[in-house]
Amino acid sequence: MTSPARRSRPATEADVARDGHRFSWLKPDRWRAGLRALVLEVDGEVAGVGRIGRNAVHPVRDMVEIEIAEAHRRRGHGTALMRELGRYSKNPLSDKVVPGSERDLFLRSLGAVTYLEVPILRLDVAAERTARWCAAVREGHEGAARVVPWADLPREQLIDALTDRYLWQHASWSPTAPREAIRPVVGEEFAEGAVHEHSWAVVRDGRITALADLYDEPVGPACEGALEAVDAAAQSARADVALCLAAWLEDLRATGVATLDFDNHPTDPHTSPLLATLDCEEVDVVRLVEIPNGITAALRDVP
């Protein structure tokens, strides 16, 4: 049997117009500075697409993603496309997978390893125990700190606090670019993307010490968000995160929200222990994986 003719090439606008309905995220090559997009042709047909690009926030790994059409899977095309994409980078590559999924198994076959497993926790906001938990936090609160919605915060102060929080949260497992380089993304864009009327902050001695971000707009019965301290090492960090969470949950309950999913990391030193004291349900798990490339690929292949 004749082997199919396979080749990779940069994606074009014509590819997007013709095959965009088959590969929903297909973009033309260099659609944004530093990002590359390829198509994989098999016997002249576009059988797969892939993209790779520098991560401006987390420069130690490059983002990669591929998709192979169902009819062309399990024939080595994905491996070939991933290797071709790897030629555009000397960094390890990263992706997100659901454990046990086809993507997870495929990337494992390429030597991918998990660098963080993130459980998605869901809380019943309307539960009576949730209400009692919030009341207990308030009863134990000392009056030096106050809780305010983001709408009451000065914009620049909020952006600085979001940036500071992001820096320490990721330092141990996915180091970031310098502060000023990431501020427009993790500060300004995060601030613009949150629902300010239903996101909360703790302010102590004029400084923001904890932040709770609500992602969804408009606010519906099922919401998603995240929270943590701005300075992980502050003596009041755990108490301030608890106070922030209690105010957030009470507000969402009054708004009619039924469930809240936490987009937090198991490495968050204050939020994770606090969530363990609530009746959260694990509803999903996402694995952040690293695919060998550059030095890790070379060392892996040492005989």
pLDDT band at 216 (very low <50, low <70, confident <90, very high): confident
Whether residue 16 contacts residue 26, with contact meaning beta carbons closer than 8 Å, is answered with yes
Q: Quote the pLDDT of residue 36.
A: 95
pLDDT, one tens digit per residue, over 160-176 is: 999 999 999 999 999 99
- The helix/strand/coil state of 161 is helix
pLDDT of 2 higher than 70: no
CA distances from 233 to 1, 140, 159, 228, 236 (A): 64, 21, 20, 12, 9
Task: Say which residue, 30 or 218, is predicted with more confidence.
Answer: 30
Q: Quote the pLDDT of residue 215.
A: 95
pLDDT of 44 higher than 70: yes
Q: Quote the pLDDT of residue 144.
A: 86
How many percent of the chain have pLDDT more than 70?
99
Whether residue 266 contacts residue 228, with contact meaning beta carbons closer than 8 Å, is answered with no
Q: What are phi and psi of 45, to 5 degrees?
A: -100, 140
Q: Quote the pLDDT of residue 217.
A: 77
Whether residue 291 contacts residue 94, with contact meaning beta carbons closer than 8 Å, is answered with yes
Rounded to two decimals, what is the model's pTM? 0.90
pLDDT of 8 higher than 80: yes
Q: Quote the pLDDT of residue 201.
A: 98
pLDDT, one tens digit per residue, over 65-105 is: 999 999 999 999 999 999 999 999 999 999 999 999 999 99
Which domains can be identified in the chain, with CATH numbers? 6-91 (3.40.630.30), 119-287 (3.40.630.30)
Mean pLDDT (whole number) for 35-61: 94
Mean pLDDT of the chain: 95
pLDDT, one tens digit per residue, over 104-157 is: 999 999 999 999 999 999 999 999 999 999 999 999 887 789 999 999 999 999
Task: Bin 292: left if φ > 0, else alpha if -120 < ψ < 50, else beta.
Answer: beta
pLDDT band at 237 (very low <50, low <70, confident <90, very high): very high
pLDDT, one tens digit per residue, over 274-294 is: 999 999 999 999 999 999 999
Q: Is 132 exposed, middle or buried (0-12, 13-18, 19+ CB in 10 A)?
A: exposed
Q: Is 70 exposed, middle or buried (0-12, 13-18, 19+ CB in 10 A)?
A: exposed
